[in-house]
């Protein structure tokens, strides 16, 4: 498995799922309730749903840029700022969906050869607090970018579930239905 074949489809599938969860929230809750969801937090010291969505998108961009050894484009800073300020300015569900769609469109245009060329390359991952992790590109993909991405996606899922949106495992793994063997669905 190559780096590109691991991270790009993962980001794409789960962002697509997140978009579907937001569609379900919008259809199941009143217009005001759906928009109010963007300010919901699992715990007082956690970021709200609006931030979790932005930060999931950030992880996809950052992962691709770091693995491709490219500088971040301005969208990363924009998403980080929107996410950090989402407690006061959560935006709308439509804006959150737009951010997801923009990220998926970006992923659709990724130069997979550039990502795959990173295999074995040393990568220094610095955090804003000054900590630096020395990793290989594979370690970065496996141990940092994918877990960070899933963290934000799963917190978004948990917020939606805790707010009463009717989501289940099938919503989480909707991409798996492309692999479903015909005639194996119980009750059919």
In a domain, 63, yes or no: yes
Q: In the 8-state DSSP scheme, what is residue 181?
A: P
Rounded Cα gap, residues 47 and 170, in angstroms = 26
In a domain, 130, yes or no: no
Domain count, the chain: 1
In a domain, 16, yes or no: yes
In a domain, 164, yes or no: yes
Does the predicted TM-score (pTM) go above 0.85?
yes
In a domain, 139, yes or no: no
Rounded Cα gap, residues 109 and 141, in angstroms = 19
In a domain, 184, yes or no: no
Model confidence pLDDT, tens digit, residues 56-104: 999 999 999 999 999 999 999 999 999 999 989 999 999 999 999 999 9
For residue 161, what are the domain limits?
3-120+149-179
SS3 assignment for 29-76: CCHHHHHHHHHCCCCCCCCCHHHHHHHHHHHHHHHHHHHCCCCCCHHH
In a domain, 174, yes or no: yes
In a domain, 37, yes or no: yes
Model confidence pLDDT, tens digit, residues 12-54: 999 999 999 999 999 888 766 677 899 999 999 999 999 999 9
Domain of 99, CATH number, reads 1.20.120.450
pLDDT at 33: 66
Using DSSP, state whether 122 is helix, strand or coil: strand
Model confidence pLDDT, tens digit, residues 119-153: 889 999 998 899 999 999 999 999 999 999 999 99
Model confidence pLDDT, tens digit, residues 82-92: 999 998 999 99
């Amino acid at each position: 498995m190559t780096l590109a074949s691991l991270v790009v489809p993962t980001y794409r599938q789960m962002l697509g799922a997140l978009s579907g969860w937001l569609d379900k929230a919008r259809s199941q809750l009143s217009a005001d309730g759906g928009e109010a969801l963007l300010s919901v937090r699992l715990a007082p010291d956690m970021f709200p749903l609006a931030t979790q969505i932005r930060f999931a998108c950030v992880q996809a961009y950052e992962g691709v840029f770091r693995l491709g050894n490219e500088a971040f484009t301005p969208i990363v800073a924009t998403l980080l700022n929107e996410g950090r300020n989402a407690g006061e300015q959560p935006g709308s569900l439509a804006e959150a969906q737009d951010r997801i769609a923009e990220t998926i469109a970006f992923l659709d245009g990724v130069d997979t050869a550039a990502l795959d060329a990173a295999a074995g390359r040393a990568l220094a991952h610095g955090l804003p607090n000054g900590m630096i992790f020395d990793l290989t590109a594979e370690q970065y993909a496996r141990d940092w970018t994918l877990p960070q991405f899933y963290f934000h996606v799963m917190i978004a899922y948990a917020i939606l579930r805790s707010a009463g949106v009717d989501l289940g495992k099938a919503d989480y793994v909707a991409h798996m239905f492309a692999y479903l063997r015909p005639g194996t669905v119980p009750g059919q």
